[in-house]
Amino acid sequence: METPDTAAEAALTEQVVARLAGTPDPRLKTLMQALVRHLHAYVREVEPTEEEWFAAIRFLTDTGKMCDGLVRQEFILLSDTLGVSMLVDAINHRHASSATDTTVFGPFYIPGMPDRAFGENMAATAGTPALVHGRVCSADGTPLRDAVLDIWQTAENGMYSGQDTAQPHGNLRGRYRTDADGYYAIRTIVPVCYPIPSDGPVGRMLAATNRHPWRPAHLHFMIDAPGHRTLVTHLFNQGDPYLDSDAVFGVKPSLQVAYEERDAGHPLASRFGFDGPFREARYDFVLEPRVLAPR
């Protein structure tokens, strides 16, 4: 039932929305007016006390203070753990084509990592040796030569190089290229599951909501080929215990691979320099052609 108080609250929302009506950029106007409507609707729904509202502001302030620009990006963690990153990803990759599914970018990518030869080992730290290989093709099946695969994964201690300063520069990171037939090959170690950083406000939010911080084991890919949309995705280890409860909601069934056991006598062992048992994962990526905007 509308009372004089609730009528004044509704009028306040409309007053703020009207104040934004003169925003020159039409997209910014849409974004700002919708933001105000939804924020006000949230406040109307939960009716926070003034203490609760100041606690929310303190939480966002702490989140900003936790960011250091390069290695720690607490706002990305917040967006990821609230499922917003995956929602933005889904909205921007609605496609009926056969292109490989996308997933979250995450906060641990570092540009400018070493260029690596076909099959080069990117692991300078211990782990179960592995070969990850396959093809990169366009949606019509044409193999893509010279596609660049920028890769990153954690060491066995669950930390990325850069995040963990004890690891050598470029450890478990690198830029590989496909050969003339669209094949890529990466020598590495089998990825492990790891917890996202939980020593900041996002960790406090996870603990207060009875959630764990773990991500299932995965290898990150950002793949670029001329004339195609950049593909940002992961390959998740089949059978990982956290596939159904990823802290950042990034798992898709199409992105799971098995790391099969191989022995030193396997033909791939001599080709890629394994002198003992190793694991093999095979995965073919499909990139979506970039649609040119009509002139």
Report, in Å, the least distance between residue 116 CB and ligand BEZ: 20
If one asks whether residue 106 binds ligand BEZ (CB under 6 A), the answer comes out as yes
Q: In this chain, which of 248, 251, 281, 286 binds ligand BEZ, going by CB under 6 A?
A: 248
With H, G, I as helix, E, B as strand and everything else as coil, classify residue 265.
Answer: coil
Question: Could you tell me how far CA 125 lies from the centroid of its own chain?
Answer: 23
Is 74 a binding residue for ligand BEZ by CB under 6 A? The answer is no
Counting contacts by CB under 6 A, is residue 113 touching ligand BEZ?
A: no
Please give the biggest Cα pair distance in the chain. 82
Among 63, 86, 102, 107, binds ligand BEZ (CB under 6 A): 107
Residue 254 is classified by DSSP as G
Structure tokens at 260: 């099969």
Burial class of residue 4 in the structure, from the number of CB atoms within 10 Å of its CB (0-12 exposed, 13-18 middle, 19+ buried): exposed
CB of 112 to ligand BEZ, least distance (A): 18
Which residue lies nearer to ligand BEZ by CB, 107 or 162? 107
Q: How far is the CB of 184 from ligand BEZ (least distance, A)?
A: 20
- Could you tell me the smallest distance in angstroms from the CB atom of residue 282 to ligand BEZ? 22
The verdict on 108 binding ligand BEZ (CB under 6 A) reads yes
Q: How far is the CB of 222 from ligand BEZ (least distance, A)?
A: 12
- Taking the CB of residue 116, how many other CB atoms lie within 10 A of it? 20
Query: What is residue 56's three-state secondary structure?
Result: helix
Q: Which residues contact 147 (CB under 8 A, 6 or more apart)?
A: 136, 177, 178, 182, 184, 223, 224, 225, 228, 287
Letters for 183-222 (x = contact with ligand BEZ by CB under 6 A, - = none) are: -------------x------------------x-------
